[in-house]
Amino acid sequence: MIVIGFTVLGVLLVVLQTSVCMIHPVWLLAPDFYYILVAYLAYRLDLLRSLIILFFLGCVLDVFSGTILGMYSLLCFSAFFLLRYAAQKMPVSESLYQVPLVGVSYLVISWITYILVSIFEPGTLVEWYWWKMMVRTCLIVAFAFPLFRFFEYANHWLSKGLFAWKKVRVRTDNRYRS
């Protein structure tokens, strides 16, 4: 249920970003919602389910954006593993530090992806501007906290199950065993 729920959520975020947030084709102030979802998956969800969601998310992004298939999948998976590794290795796991880390990782992963694509597919990408990337990073940081809260709520809701079968199932009288 969580996999389906977050996959649908990812698709909706991408659609929102491509239709509502992009006022015209060269619009800058469209926050990369999908990246916040990637970060949330890295921090909160288990590996297998996250990878399934990321697979679909990368597919959707490759369809909606860009001319190089697989680029977004690479970006999403790289970001996921980097953030997961960082979250495990970091001495402090406070959410206060997690949000800036999302921004920094976005900048680093984007830069590495840009360099790789520029090497293997020269002349296909628009020129890199640091200030534009910084604006996008700031947008991600700004939206990270509210979206994390929303994902947390969605996760909680999806964990209970969309249909309340768990509530009506027959239980034993033993209320002390988990």
| Residues within the interface to another protein (CB under 8 A) | 14-15, 17-19, 21-28, 30, 32, 63-67, 114, 117, 123-127, 129, 132-133, 136
Select 2 or 39, whichever has its Cβ closest to another protein.
39
Select 47 or 63, whichever has its Cβ closest to another protein.
63
- Write down the least CB distance from residue 144 to another protein, Å: 17
- Write down the least CB distance from residue 79 to another protein, Å: 14
- Write down the least CB distance from residue 77 to another protein, Å: 17
R_g over Cα of the chain: 18
C-alpha distances (whole Å) from 79 to each of 42, 91, 119, 158, 173 are 8, 20, 20, 24, 47
Contact 160, 129 (CB under 8 A): no
Between CA 158 and CA 116 the distance in angstroms is 37
145 φ, ψ (degrees, to nearest 5)? -65, -55
- Write down the least CB distance from residue 53 to another protein, Å: 19
